[in-house]
Structure 1
Amino acid sequence: MRIAMVAPPWYEIPPPGYGGTEAVVAKLIDGLHARGHEVMLVAAGRNGTAAEFGQTYPEPQHPRFGQVEVEVAHAVAAAEYIEEFGPDVVHDHTLVGPLTAPARRAPTIVTAHLAPLGEAARCYRFIGRTAGLMSVSRAQQRVASGIRWAGVAHNAVDPALFPYRDVKDGYVVFLGRMCADKGVHVAITAARAAGYPIKMAGRCTRPEETEYFERRIRPLLGPDAEYLGELDTRSKYALLAGARCLLFPIQWEEPFGVVLIEAMACGTPVVALRRAAVPEVVEPGVTGLVCDTEAELPDAIRAVERIDPWECRRRVGERFDVATMTGAYENAYRRLARAYDTAGRRL
């Protein structure tokens, strides 16, 4: 098939550091290319994949994250590239771009990378009527009603690209944006109560992130709670591989959480709160420990030694590998293509 892949304009594909969605898009392109499909990537910055490339901006637009004019200009440029490429199917990972789907002949698959809450839910309800809307977890589908879903495709990683360690250092790790939704303050409190130092890394650039960091996180920092900033990919994986466990005290309905499977691929178990997609991704007693309350987190951190690091890595290869994700999307492309006539109308 000829597949046009539209990425968000904020980070390069693949991303040099932060960018869970962008990392998934890169792996999907690799998987489709390996299966013989012809793929064109539409994105900002440089192209680090084997796909043909349509560049919407010379540089990634993360300094202007969320600005409407950036998303609209990106969608317009993508529509022009798609028309020239003439794909059998379009796979869009943005929120604005799918609004152009009714104007073209090729059917469109959209991956919902956001939780369908508030305005996002309204957008997804509309998109589900005009395109094939895929979720990244079953939990994501349960958040809002009235959305027409075409299927589910879990996010994936290639375990072979991650450093594996079965002998761990004496720290726990938090990896993610510095914001209240991620529960960074909860992670510090839990690690300290368990008697283990915590190392934290992640983005802290937006005003709401810096405000939260100064108000809630900086007062908690000390010799046993260290913030390392935003790391590049190699440093991030090394940090994950050496950790006793990854702490994931999520405070919102996160659709998936790619860092969960990244940690497992390194042989690092997860200690998480039972919320959103966590029960769908973490297998209690096999790849981590899932807690019902924040008060249970310290005991789980102490008990995580009974989790086998190699089993964590093996289970990622079984459940969240690139081939499985690629196959799920490939099936969705073919189902959607069969549902449209030659004039681009949904049957």
Structure 2
Amino acid sequence: MKIAVLGHRTFPISEPFAGGLERFIYTLVQGLQRKGCDVTLFAHPDSDPSLNVAAPDFIDTSFCTTSEEKSHESFLSIMDYLDYDNFDIVHNNSLNYFPIVLSDNISTPLVTTLHAPPFPLLYSAVKHRKRRCNYISISKINAESWGLNNGLSEIIYNGVDTDIFCFGENKSKDFAVWTGRILPCKGTHLAIEAAKKANINLVIAGPICDSEYFEQEVKPRLNEGIQYAGHLGKKELICLIQNAYVILCTPIWSEPFGLVVIESLSCGTPVVAFNRGAIAEIIDENTGILVTPDDTDAMAQAIKQATLLSRYACRERVVKHFSIDAMLSNYLQVFEKIAATRMSSQKSCISATTSTLTARDTYKGRSKLQNTLNRT
């Protein structure tokens, strides 16, 4: 199967990852390649070359003045290109509304995975085209928030490579870990408060995505027992998680999934989390403790209780329900079903002409795509 995967163009899909979406795309593309699929990734040009990143020479953003304009022009060019390459499926993970808006103008089926709760531009595109597009949600609660809980959406949980995020015995259990993008909606400062109340050391790891938040809410709270380890690579991060007593998850927003949670459980490390979003779909009473959102007193108490949880049970839950193989199998089933529907439709029609236009030619489709955008 020939698959075009659309990533966003804000951060490279390479290690160390800027966040969970970048790690997801990296894992997905590598997994599909191992399954024998011919995958081309359309993403930031500095992404890992092993992912078969499309050459950017057909994208010209030299006339754009802002990063938003560059992103929009890039996806306009990409969608034009896709119609002249023989892909079976286009898998959209871009968080950009252009691919959805322009999906009616390409012959290849577009499948969009919704990685975030609704936000205005993307929600508008989904709302007005939801009966003509294919959507995948990464959790039940995220599907409900998009209004796709009436049979229009597939639910495919994210998966983790359990061979890479492998089990750790952890004999010491003397510190907690908070990991993720450091910005207000992730609530790093609340993890610090909870750790102090529980009288346990805390190690924070992840990219600083909001420097003002870090300087005002995180840095002043750092001390000998509360340390910032930086933006770690995969090996360093896994070692940190394996040796942690517990992982703290403190979302301020409705978490659409929680990739950090399954990565931690895969290493055998229990999770204490605010009961927000999809985290309740991941952990159970044997693998983690959910507490009232924003209640750092309750989280501090739960940290102490987490010592009773089995690290083996944590690992087993991920192997059974959130493995990369399960995720890939589910995606391929959806892709094959949609591609088969397309083939059946094509067989019922006979084309009068055969286009010889190549991707490097002047795009005759550009005016059609631009007109579609003008009407949106």
Shared fold, TM over 0.5: yes
Tell me, what secondary structure is at the counterpart of 1:90?
A: strand
Matched, 1:158 2:127: no
> Does the CA contact (< 8 Å) of 1:42 and 1:81 recur in 2?
no
What is the CA distance between 1:136 and its match in structure 2? 0.5
> Does the CA contact (< 8 Å) of 2:92 and 2:111 recur in 1?
yes
What is the CA distance between 1:145 and its match in structure 2? 3.1
> Does the CA contact (< 8 Å) of 1:143 and 1:253 recur in 2?
no
Identify the range of structure 1 (217-226 vs 116-125) with the bigger mean alpha-carbon deviation.
116-125
Identify the range of structure 1 (47-56 vs 114-123) with the bigger mean alpha-carbon deviation.
47-56
Relative to structure 1, the CA distance from residue 278 to residue 124 in structure 2 (aligned partners, 3 Å threshold; closer, same or farther) is same
1:16-27 mapped onto 2 (5 Å cutoff): 16-27=16-27
Identify the range of structure 1 (250-259 vs 230-239) with the bigger mean alpha-carbon deviation.
230-239
What is the CA distance between 1:344 and its match in structure 2? 11
Relative to structure 1, the CA distance from residue 146 to residue 330 in structure 2 (aligned partners, 3 Å threshold; closer, same or farther) is closer
Post-superposition CA distance 1:95-138 (Å, at most 9, x none) = 23332211110111011112114444223323524421111100
> Does the CA contact (< 8 Å) of 1:11 and 1:19 recur in 2?
no
Post-superposition CA distance 1:212-252 (Å, at most 9, x none) = 22222223221221122222222222221111111002111
The match for 1:177 is 181
The match for 1:123 is 125
> Does the CA contact (< 8 Å) of 1:264 and 1:316 recur in 2?
yes
Amino acid of the structure 1 residue aligned with 2:114: A
Tell me, what secondary structure is at the counterpart of 1:160?
A: coil
Quick one: distance in 1 between partners of 2:182 and 2:348? 43
Tell me, what secondary structure is at the counterpart of 1:86?
A: coil
Matched, 1:230 2:234: no
Q: Gapped runs of 5+ residues in structure 2?
A: 59-65, 350-376
Relative to structure 1, the CA distance from residue 312 to residue 112 in structure 2 (aligned partners, 3 Å threshold; closer, same or farther) is same
The match for 2:113 is 111
Identify the range of structure 1 (6-15 vs 158-167) with the bigger mean alpha-carbon deviation.
6-15
> Does the CA contact (< 8 Å) of 1:29 and 1:50 recur in 2?
no
The match for 2:142 is 140
Q: Say which of 173, 196, 202 aligns to 2:206.
A: 202
What is the CA distance between 1:55 and its match in structure 2? 3.0
Relative to structure 1, the CA distance from residue 17 to residue 146 in structure 2 (aligned partners, 3 Å threshold; closer, same or farther) is closer
Quick one: distance in 2 between partners of 1:118 and 1:76? 20
The match for 1:277 is 278
Tell me, what secondary structure is at the counterpart of 2:346?
A: coil
Quick one: distance in 2 between partners of 1:233 and 1:36? 25
> Does the CA contact (< 8 Å) of 1:187 and 1:247 recur in 2?
yes
Amino acid of the structure 1 residue aligned with 2:155: V
Matched, 1:308 2:310: yes
1:76-87 mapped onto 2 (5 Å cutoff): 76-87=76-87
Larger radius of gyration: 2
The match for 1:73 is 73
What is the CA distance between 1:23 and its match in structure 2? 1.8
Post-superposition CA distance 1:164-223 (Å, at most 9, x none) = 322244111111122221111111111111110111112214xxx122222222232212
Tell me, what secondary structure is at the counterpart of 2:42?
A: strand
Tell me, what secondary structure is at the counterpart of 2:177?
A: strand
> Does the CA contact (< 8 Å) of 1:125 and 1:146 recur in 2?
no
What is the CA distance between 1:311 and its match in structure 2? 2.0
The match for 1:61 is none
Quick one: distance in 2 between partners of 1:57 and 1:300? 53
> Does the CA contact (< 8 Å) of 2:91 and 2:111 recur in 1?
yes
TM-score by length of 1: 0.88
Q: Gapped runs of 5+ residues in structure 1?
A: 59-65
Quick one: distance in 2 between partners of 1:160 and 1:102? 40
What is the CA distance between 1:343 and its match in structure 2? 9.2
RMSD (Å), alpha carbons: 2.6
Relative to structure 1, the CA distance from residue 18 to residue 47 in structure 2 (aligned partners, 3 Å threshold; closer, same or farther) is closer
Amino acid of the structure 1 residue aligned with 2:268: G
Relative to structure 1, the CA distance from residue 287 to residue 263 in structure 2 (aligned partners, 3 Å threshold; closer, same or farther) is same
What is the CA distance between 1:14 and its match in structure 2? 4.1
The match for 1:337 is 339
Tell me, what secondary structure is at the counterpart of 2:130?
A: helix
Relative to structure 1, the CA distance from residue 37 to residue 52 in structure 2 (aligned partners, 3 Å threshold; closer, same or farther) is same
Runs of 4+ aligned structure 1 residues displaced above 6 Å come to: none
Quick one: distance in 2 between partners of 1:343 and 1:100? 24
Query: Number of aligned pairs?
Result: 335
Quick one: distance in 2 between partners of 1:78 and 1:119? 19
The match for 1:241 is 242
What is the CA distance between 1:50 and its match in structure 2? 5.7
- Identity among equivalent pairs (%): 26
> Does the CA contact (< 8 Å) of 1:113 and 1:255 recur in 2?
yes
TM-score by length of 2: 0.81
Identify the range of structure 1 (273-282 vs 303-312) with the bigger mean alpha-carbon deviation.
303-312
Identify the range of structure 1 (75-84 vs 46-55) with the bigger mean alpha-carbon deviation.
46-55
Matched, 1:324 2:323: no
